[in-house]
């Protein structure tokens, strides 16, 4: 899955012949899972039609502050557009537009939106060879990058004038790859490995029956998504569940029993930077597992249970530089029990949720948590979706590891 999935892309198109390539650019962003809105300078419509771009982006194309064809004209809010975007891309960026960007000139909707944008801005120059090499153009490059904008360099090739040389806008595929790489390199968990456990474990009674619990695994899967989107390499060790995840940075390891999860977690823990054990591992398992299905002959069945291996405690014992996070699902004396677990198991942080809280616990799309750190500081959160909870957890982890 592309790092662009879910991103809001504001594409600014100026009046250069390379504008014809923006149809492919919009398609690539959409294919990567991004949402795209397009702003064109009025003259850009001479090179590619708004109808083409609105059809591909599935959004109206903006080119002026009001719709001149509408008697009840509605103002296009350039501030809202600038705030909406996760990043803005101006492609092609002509010498004329870049000069105006550098000087702060605001004589069209695109430039007004650029000056209002709070997000990262990329620009992909496109012009003829002599224009590209002109000192005034270089001055625009330098000034725009000094503002914090990112330039996607032009390439060499045949130009509209018939000359061959530098000034050709980067190809759409290369622009998308450039932005993906730039975003990845700026992510806080780039180069880090995160180990996550999720879901229940099933402890066999016989070939048909097992001891388990109602954990859906959703919390762990949401944590894996957030970690991957923050740039991490993720190993997700998951017990039996119906969750799905598709992300190139997530390696999904399927397990069944607590012993399976113990082995898998220990295999990846030594190379992990962060480990979050959100799985609901069975505390007990049958001492003896029947090799054949137990027949229903008696009115009662007696099972002798023994403790399963404590995965979290075992990782706490061998922990070196890893940041280790555990979960505590409690029904009484919640804070006291969670703090005790944090200390006993040598954790750096514990996430407490209580079955007494409506909307929290197994099998629900929401959760209500309290985070406790190693200094026993507590931070309580309101009821949120598990996706939002996963983001809250990683925000606190990042604060802790960068403290």
Cβ–Cβ contacts within 10 Å for residue 363, how many? 9
Fold match between domain 8-186 and domain 193-284+304-401? yes
Residue 80: partners with Cβ closer than 8 Å, 6 or more residues away: none
d(C-alpha 226, C-alpha 214), whole Å: 23
The confidence score (pLDDT) of residue 295 equals 87
Q: Are the CB atoms for 250 and 264 separated by under 8 Å?
A: no
d(C-alpha 38, C-alpha 288), whole Å: 65
Query: Which CATH architecture group holds 193-284+304-401?
Result: 3-Layer(aba) Sandwich (3.40)
Query: Which of helix, strand or coil describes residue 203?
Result: strand
Domain 8-186 listed as CATH 3.40.50.1950: yes
The confidence score (pLDDT) of residue 2 equals 76
pTM score, two decimals?
Answer: 0.77
The confidence score (pLDDT) of residue 73 equals 56
Q: Strand pairing of 87-93 and 61-62?
A: unpaired
Chain-centroid distance, C-alpha 77: 28
User: What are the residue boundaries of the structural domains of the chain, listed by start?
Assistant: 8-186, 193-284+304-401
d(C-alpha 44, C-alpha 257), whole Å: 61
Cβ–Cβ contacts within 10 Å for residue 371, how many? 21
Identify the DSSP state of 170.
Answer: P
Tokens (6 digits) for 292: 């054949």
d(C-alpha 184, C-alpha 187), whole Å: 5
Query: Which of helix, strand or coil describes residue 258?
Result: helix
Measured between its terminal Cα atoms, the distance across the chain in Å is 31
> Which residue in 284, 272, 285, 282 sits closest to 315, CA to CA?
272
Q: Are the CB atoms for 307 and 283 separated by under 8 Å?
A: yes
The confidence score (pLDDT) of residue 182 equals 93
Q: Are the CB atoms for 194 and 274 separated by under 8 Å?
A: yes
The confidence score (pLDDT) of residue 71 equals 53
The single residue of 67, 77, 96, 213 carrying the catalytic annotation is 213
d(C-alpha 257, C-alpha 82), whole Å: 50
> Which residue in 122, 233, 115, 101 sits closest to 179, CA to CA?
122
The confidence score (pLDDT) of residue 72 equals 54
Q: Which residues pair with 156 in a beta bridge?
A: 166
Residue 328: partners with Cβ closer than 8 Å, 6 or more residues away: 334, 337, 338, 341, 350, 351, 352, 353
Tokens (6 digits) for 245: 């995840």
The confidence score (pLDDT) of residue 199 equals 95
Low-confidence ranges of the chain (pLDDT < 70): 1, 66-76, 163, 356-357, 359-363
d(C-alpha 116, C-alpha 108), whole Å: 13
Is 149 a known active-site residue?
no
């Amino acid at each position: 899955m592309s790092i662009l999935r879910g991103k809001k892309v504001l594409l600014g198109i100026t009046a250069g012949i390379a504008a014809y390539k923006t149809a492919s650019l919009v398609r690539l962003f959409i294919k990567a899972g991004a949402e795209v809105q397009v702003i064109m300078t009025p003259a850009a419509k001479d090179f590619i039609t708004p109808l083409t771009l609105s059809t591909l982006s599935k959004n109206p194309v903006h080119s002026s502050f009001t719709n001149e064809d509408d008697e009840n004209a509605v103002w296009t809010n350039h501030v809202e557009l600038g705030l909406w975007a996760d990043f803005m891309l101006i492609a092609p960026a002509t010498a004329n537009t870049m000069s105006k960007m550098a000087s702060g000139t605001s004589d069209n909707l695109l430039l007004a939106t650029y000056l209002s944008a709070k997000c990262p801005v990329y620009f992909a120059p496109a012009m003829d060879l002599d224009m590209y090499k002109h000192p005034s153009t270089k001055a625009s490059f330098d000034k725009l990058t000094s503002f914090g904008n990112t330039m996607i360099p032009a390439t060499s090739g045949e130009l509209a004038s018939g000359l061959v040389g530098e000034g050709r806008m980067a190809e759409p595929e290369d622009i998308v790859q450039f932005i993906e790489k730039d975003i990845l390199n700026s992510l806080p968990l780039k180069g880090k490995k995160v180990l996550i456990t999720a879901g229940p474990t099933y402890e066999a009674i016989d070939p048909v029956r097992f001891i388990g619990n109602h954990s859906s695994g959703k919390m762990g899967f949401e944590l894996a998504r957030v970690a991957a989107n923050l740039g991490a390499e993720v190993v997700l060790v998951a017990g039996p569940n119906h969750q799905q995840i598709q992300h190139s940075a997530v390696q999904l390891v399927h397990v069944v029993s607590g012993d399976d999860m113990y082995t898998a977690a220990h295999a990846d823990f030594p190379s992990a930077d962060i480990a979050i054990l959100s799985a609901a591992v069975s505390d007990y398992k049958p001492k003896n597992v029947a090799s054949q299905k137990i027949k229903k002959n008696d009115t009662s069945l007696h099972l002798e249970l023994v403790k399963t291996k404590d995965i979290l405690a075992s990782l706490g014992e061998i922990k070196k530089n890893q940041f280790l996070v555990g979960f505590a699902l409690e029904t009484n004396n919640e804070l006291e029990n969670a703090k005790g677990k944090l200390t006993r198991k040598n954790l750096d942080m514990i996430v407490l949720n209580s079955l007494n809280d409506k909307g929290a616990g197994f099998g629900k799309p929401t959760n209500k948590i309290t985070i406790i750190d190693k200094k026993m500081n507590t931070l309580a959160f309101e009821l949120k979706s598990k996706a939002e909870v996963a983001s809250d957890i990683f925000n606190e982890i990042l604060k802790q590891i960068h403290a």
